[in-house]
Structure 1
Amino acid sequence: MIDLYTYTTPNGRKVSIALEELGLPYTTKVVDLMKGEQFKPEFLAVNPNNKIPAIVDHDVPGGLKVFESGAILVYLAEKTGRLMPSDAVGRAEVMQWLMFQMSGFGVAFGQLNFFTNLAPQRVPAAIERFRVEGVRVVGVLNKHLSSRDFMARQYSIADIAMYPWVATARQLAPELFSSSSGILQWMQRVGDRPAVAKGMKVPDLQR
C-alpha cells in the first residue's frame, strides 16, 4: 500500500494519474496548502522540503519515503517495470521530456500564474517574461507532438507529467494554445484514458 500526500495541483495529479495507470493500491492523504498543512511536523517528516506530492511506500520494510514529483514517477515506473522503456535510448527519450516539463513548461506556467494571479503587487516585466517563455515552450511542445502520438515512442511517465500542466496552462492562457493542433490532439488522446480522468480528480475535495 502507498500513502499519497497530495493536493489539487498539477504536480499532485501527476502521481495520482500514475498510480491509477499502474493499478497500485494507495491511500490519499490531503495536504491542504491553503491552510499551511505542508508546514506541519507530521508532513515535514515525510518531505522535509514541505511540498506536495510525496509518497510513503509501505511495500518496502520500514516504509520508503519519496518526494519530488519527477522522482516519484521514476520510482513508480521502476517499481512496476511499466511506463518507462527498459532500453537506454528509450529511457533517455522519456527522461528528457520529463525534465522539459519539470524545468521548462512547469516553471514557465507556474511563474506566469503566480505573477498574474497571486503576487501581492503586479509586476508587468515578470508577467511578460513568463508569458514569452510560455509561448516558447508551447511552440516546442506543439512541434514535437505534431508528428507523434505521445511524448516518447510510447505512452509513458513523460505524458503523465505533462498532461496536468497543459490542462492547467490552457485554463490560464487559452490563447497560447488556440493554434496548437498537435497539443490539442494529444490532450484528447491522453485525456480519454480512464486512469487519467480518474487521477485528475484526486483528491476529491467535494466529498
Structure 2
Amino acid sequence: MPAKKTNRKYYFSVEGETEKWYLEWIKQLMNNDPSAAHTVTIDCKKEKNPLKRAKSLTILDKTVITHWFDYESAEDIHARQFKETLDALKETSTFKKQIKYQLGYSNFTFELWMVLHKRDCNTALAHRRQYLKWINSAFGESFAELSDYKEEANFKRVLNKISLDDVQAAIVRAKKIMKRNHEAGLTLHEYKGYRYYKENPSLLVHESIENMLKDCKLI
C-alpha cells in the first residue's frame, strides 16, 4: 500500500466570500490530485482586519498567514485604506511574534487573478467594474453585473471551469505582469516592509498559491 500522505496546513484571511470559495476549490483540486505529495488543509477566514484574525488563533509554532485584499483604486480613500491594512499586518507581527503575515494584494481586484486562469490581462483599467467583460470573456459567461458573478451559485459555476493546469497558467501570467512592471521602471513602493505597485495591473495573490503547489510537488 502507498504511504499515507502527510498534511500541510495553510492560513489565510480574505476580504470577501469569493476569495474564500476560491481557496476551498483550490484545496479540493489539490487533494483530488493523486500526484500531490501531501494533502492540504486551508484555514481561511473572511476578516478584513488581520490583527483580529491573528487574535482569534491559538497557535504556538511559527505560522505564516497570507492576507488577500484589494488595492481598489488610486483614490485617496482607497490608498489610505490599503496602507491601514498594511499597518495592521505589521502590528500583527509585533503583537504575536510567532505569526508572520504575508501580503497578497490584487490591483484593482481579485477578478484580475480570476481572469488570469484563462487569458492574459495586461491592460490598465480605469475602474474595477471594467473587469466584468474580462470575466465574461475568460469564462464564457454573460453576467450583467459583477454582483451577479459574485453570487455563490454563479461563482462556483465559474470555479468548476478552473483546473490545476489553469492555476499554473495563472501563476505564469501573474509573474509576467510583475516582471513587465519592473522592466517598465514602475516604482515598487515599500511601506512597513511590504512592497507593491500602485499601477494596475499588479498583484501578489499568486505567490501563496505557488508556494502551496510547490510544497505539494504539483509544480
Which structure is higher in RCO with an 8 Å CA cutoff and minimum separation 6? 1
Superposed pair shares fold, TM > 0.5: no
- Name the TM-score, length of structure 2 as normaliser: 0.27
Q: What is the TM-score of this pair, normalised by structure 1? A: 0.28
* Higher strand content, 1 or 2: 2
